[in-house]
Amino acid sequence: MAVTGLVTALAAIAGRDPAGCALVAAAVLAGQLSVGWSNDAVDATRDAAAGRTSKPVVSGAVRAGALWRAALIALACCVPLSLASGVEAGAAHLVGVAAAWAYNLGLKATALSWLPYAVGFGSLPAFVALGLPGAPWPAWWAVSAAALLGVGAHLANVLPDIEDDLAAGVRGGPQRLGAGRVRVMLPLPLLAATVVLVVGADLGAAGWAGLGAALLPAGAGIAAARRSPRAPFWAAVAVTAVDVALLLAAGGDITR
């Protein structure tokens, strides 16, 4: 829901009309549902072994087969909904969805586990921009910042489950680094995204103020990592909030 809302807001700021924004929302939501449901379906056995009762399959709320069917239906809907914004825009979004499915189906257990997140998030500004009249290519800073946000999201998503993942034989990039290193590294790609937005989008004084607002929690989170293991995570949440605000502030120039 968060990703769908962000991309829809970006589409509105970039100049998509209400119908276009609705198409963006529907396409992104369908893609996100297909990715989330397939992820739970793939991980059902592993989640059960780890005792993750918050997962719907483990709790008995739904069967893995039902999740697979729902994921495939959502994916089938995602294709025409994406292409309704234009062939170029639709292709960009479907590349991102395909990257996310590749993560679920095996890349999550490799050293390249971060790559699908970078591709998936980086494809979203391209989807918005290429859906505008004339299919203009997105600005480099929009794609780069979104990709860096994706890498940060990967680290944050994996961090709580690193020990369980290692016990189950899942050795993605963060698992190979270990929880201690990931906690310290977590804010770094998000800070890099902040710098890219401030410099690339030329946001002026507001952008530099945003960079300062991101540096403070990031530095505090890293400094407190040993005393409070959750501090870098909450620091990353704060930096992500700044990045999202900067991205939306620059959204009107997403093709510049």
**pLDDT, tens digit (0-9, with 9 covering 90-100), for 141-179:** 999 999 999 999 899 888 888 888 888 888 999 999 998
One domain, residues 5 and 115: yes
- Which of 62, 97, 124 terminates a domain? The answer is 124
Transcribe the chain into DSSP letters.
-HHHHHHHHHHHHHT--HHHHHHHHHHHHHHHHHHHHHHHHHTHHHHHHHT-TTSHHHHTSS-HHHHHHHHHHHHHHHHHHHHTT-HHHHHHHHHHHHHHHHHHTTGGGSTTTHHHHHHHHHHHHHHHHHTSTT-PPPPHHHHHHHHHHHHHHHHHHHGGGHHHHHHTT---HHHHH-HHHHHHHTHHHHHHHHHHHHHHTT-HHHHHHHHHHHHHHHHHHHHTTTT-TTHHHHHHHHHHHHHHHHHHHTGGGTT-
98 assigned to some structural domain: yes
Query: Do 232 and 120 belong together in one domain?
Result: no
Q: Can you give the residue range of the structural domain that contains 223?
A: 139-256
Which of 93, 124, 155 is the C-terminal boundary of a domain?
124
Same domain, 26 and 104: yes
pLDDT score recorded for residue 206: 87
Residues 112 and 148 in one domain: no
pLDDT value, residue 54: 84
In a domain, 194, yes or no: yes
Question: Which of the listed residues 90, 124, 158 is the one where a domain comes to its end?
Answer: 124
Is 130 within a domain?
A: no
Lookup: tokens for 16: 């998509």
For residue 238, being part of any structural domain is answered with: yes
Same domain, 150 and 32: no
At residue 224, the pLDDT reads 78
User: Which CATH number goes with the domain that contains 81?
Assistant: 1.10.357.140
Judge if pTM exceeds 0.95. no
45 within a domain of the structure (yes/no) = yes
Q: 83 near 90, Cβ under 8 Å?
A: yes
Residues 6 or more apart whose CB falls under 8 angstroms from that of 155 comprise 114, 174, 182, 185, 186, 189, 236
pLDDT at 232: 76
Residue 223 and residue 116 share a domain:
no
pLDDT at 164: 82
Same domain, yes or no, for 7 and 109? yes
Same domain flag for 197 and 173? yes
In a domain, 133, yes or no: no
CATH number at 225 reads 1.20.120
Show the low-confidence residues of the chain (pLDDT under 50): none
227, part of any domain: yes
Residues 10 and 103 in one domain: yes
pLDDT value for 252: 85
Task: Establish if 114 belongs to a structural domain.
Answer: yes
Q: How many domains does the chain fold into?
A: 2
Cα separation, 47 vs 67, in Å, equals 14
- Shared domain check, 174 and 74: no
Indicate whether 159 and 235 sit together in one domain: yes
Answer yes or no: do 194 and 225 share one domain. Answer: yes
